[in-house]
Structure 1
Amino acid sequence: MSQKSYHQTHDHVIPLLEGAEPINLRPYRYSHDQKATIEKLVDEMLAAAVIRPSSSPLPFSSPVPVGRMGGSWRLCIDYRKLNSLTINKNIPFLSWMNSWKRAVPNEKKPFIDPKKQVN
């Protein structure tokens, strides 16, 4: 079995509004089945080196399991609270993405799944 490695070419910084404090939210409540699903998905992503254990001293955001067509699951993170504290910058990619949304019908768009994007 080949050893997976993490690639970090630069540190990522999220610019926050003046006076913004770290967000502290209570973890979401999960059913036993949801908890088992989350643990399984996290273990799979750790094994595939898609994610790594966090070294952040701040609490993490609770993952939200979202059902896919076909009955499988994926994990999402609700960043709405963090987004409300960030400095809004106009990024050209967003304009391109809006054009892409208008130009290409939904059924023809590729779906990008980070879990499957292993180098």
Structure 2
Amino acid sequence: MGTRHDKINLRLILVSGKTGEFLFSPNDSAADITEYVYNNWPEEWCDEQLPAVNILRLIYQGRFLHGNVTLGALKLQMGKTTVMHLVPREHLPEPNNQGQLKKDKSGENSCSNCCIIL
């Protein structure tokens, strides 16, 4: 088992403002993380309503993360704490195409594919 230095510490914030911290490896994807948290719901969150099925999603820097995105791909620093929001949401809009993804990464303000939280 690795040490804290080769793991990424995620501080997850719920809509209610409650937080929890979890260690993940850079190879873990957003789907791996939400599945782990769903199956290992922290005791201190016991008064939070857990959805009937795992529809938890991660938001990082204002964007929903698609399930196959790994922490390593986000270039998160190992041994450091990264804050993400954890929210229940059924579906994410699919990226239009590869070109769209590249444009989003290069242009900070290109927000044609952003999600709006209602």
When normalised by structure 1's length, the TM-score is 0.23
More helix by share: 1
When normalised by structure 2's length, the TM-score is 0.23
Larger Rg: 1
